[in-house]
Structure formats: structure tokens, C-alpha cells
Amino acid sequence: MTSRRRSSYSLKQPGQRKVPISRDPLHIQVANRLRDMIVHGDLKPGERVPFAQLAEELGVSLTPLREAFKVLAEDGLVEQTPNRGVRVLPYTAAEATALFEVIAELESLAAKLAAVRMSDDDLANLEALHEQMRGEYESRSKDPYFDINSRIHRMIVGLSGNDVLISTHTKLMVRANRGRYIAIVNEDRWSQAMGEHEAVMDAFRRRDSEAARSIWWTHLAHSGEAVSAVLEQYNAGELNDALQPAAD
């Protein structure tokens, strides 16, 4: 490297999201950090990974970094080529459409089940997260909004009480989370999504399982449409900043 300028890969960026201490093996911790970087656009589709620089910035040796990228390759997020390094795989509109078709069915079923299975305490916890997310939306803080939004989606799935649904959803979201972040690039879609969250909370308060299912299916279908539209523009070179990290 000829320049000592701080790169976008540093773990010590001002204002970065705080991450709880993990007891996972080091390569899993590194994989989780890299996955987050891919989701937020710090590692962009098609980009070759600067291995030595990234290892230095993350404060790890090359061995756990290589092991971490093996995990991401199994996730379908990167491609490892002998003698050519690691490349972040492109995320296509067709892939997003296929993923969100399935996720809409899974999460809408989860919402239907959660509406009648969650306890009053569960609902109160969901309400608290919803209020936090609304605050981030009103201040237009995309990264905190996305993080809380993701927690809400995972919580609704968890409150379904269906282990098969939960495990299937977890596997799919490894790939689909890239798209959920992209979906809030569009201000109109962001506003629409917030309204859909308000509507599903109302359904949960009324314990209306069918309304919750219908609202949440529509929400995920809209997200899939928004992601596909942005990806089509980006991959055609018409929206070059769509996958860039959001401003703090």
C-alpha cells in the first residue's frame, strides 16, 4: 500500500455501532464482522478483498481471516478463486426477487402465529423496539434504524414459536439482509415501510392474526420489489451510490 490513509474497513470508525463481546471462535467473530460490512456496503459487490489491509484493520492474522471467508463462501456471499483471492459476489435483482418471495411467506406466517402466541410482556418489548425505531426514522438515522428494524423482524419470527420456520428463515437472511438495507435507499419506500410497521403493531395489539399476516406479507413483498428495482438500476450503472455505506 502506498498510502497510510484510514480506509473504510477500520473497526474503530467514529460513531460506529457498538457490538457486544462475543465468545464465538475468532474466525466466527471475524465472519460476523465481514458479513455486516457486506450488508452495509463497506465491502461492495464485485470488489476484490484487500486481504493484508483488511487483516491489519481488523487486528487479526491472516489465518482467522481466511477461515472467516470460507464461512462467507458457504453463505454464498463471496467467491474464493485460487491465486486470485476473494471477491464479494454480486447481488442480482433476480436473486433478490427469489429470496423475498420465500421470505414474505415465512415472515407473514410468523406474524400470524406471533399475534396469538406472544405474551403481553413480549408485546411490550416489541412496542419498545418499535418506538426506538420510529425515533431513528424521524431523525433519518439509517444505520441505527436498520439495526433496530432487523431486531424487530427477528423478534417477530422468534415469537412464532416454530423452530422449523425460525431455522429456515435464519439461513435465508444471511443472503437477504443485503437487500433489506438497500431497500431504505429510496425515501418513499422508507416512509411506506414505516407505515407498514405501524400497521402490523396495531394488528398485534388487537391480536388479529390474519391482519398481521396480510400486512406483513405486503411489507415483505414491497421490500422485495424495492430491492430488485434498486439492484436493476445499480447493476446497469444508473445508481452508483446505492450500495455505498449510509451517512451517520
List the CATH number of the domain containing 123: 1.20.120.530
Three cell numbers, residue 150: 432487523
Residue-level pLDDT at 123: 98
Residues 209 and 121 in one domain: yes
Residues 72 and 101 in one domain: no
Say which CATH number the domain at 83 has.
Answer: 1.10.10.10
Residue-level pLDDT at 105: 98
Contact 145, 180 (CB under 8 A): no
Domain that holds residue 75: 26-88
Closest C-alpha to 49, from 6, 9, 76: 9
Residues 105 and 190 in one domain: yes
pTM for the predicted model, two decimal places: 0.74
Closest C-alpha to 92, from 244, 242, 229, 241: 229
Residues 160 and 208 in one domain: yes
Residue-level pLDDT at 240: 55
DSSP secondary structure code for residue 61 in this structure: -
- Whether residue 203 lies inside any domain: the answer is yes
How many alpha carbons fall within 13 Å on the CB side of residue 179? 31
Residues 104 and 68 in one domain: no
The CA-to-CA distance between both ends of the chain, in Å, stands at 28
Q: Burial of 86 by CB count in 10 Å (0-12 exposed, 13-18 middle, 19+ buried)?
A: buried
Q: Is the pLDDT of residue 210 over 70?
A: yes
Residues 84 and 165 in one domain: no
pLDDT one-digit tens code per residue, 18-63? 444 457 789 999 998 998 888 777 888 888 888 888 888 899 999 9
The residue out of 44, 59, 88 marking a domain boundary is 88
Closest C-alpha to 51, from 39, 41, 42, 60: 60
137 falls in which pLDDT band (50, 70, 90)?
A: very high
Residue-level pLDDT at 15: 44
Residues 74 and 109 in one domain: no
- Whether residue 114 lies inside any domain: the answer is yes
Three cell numbers, residue 139: 431523525
Q: Based on the structure, what is the number of domains in the chain?
A: 2
239 falls in which pLDDT band (50, 70, 90)?
A: low
Report for 3-12, 17-26, 205-214: range of highest mean pLDDT? 205-214
pLDDT one-digit tens code per residue, 90-120? 888 999 999 999 999 999 999 999 999 999 9
The residue out of 50, 69, 88 marking a domain boundary is 88
Residue-level pLDDT at 100: 94
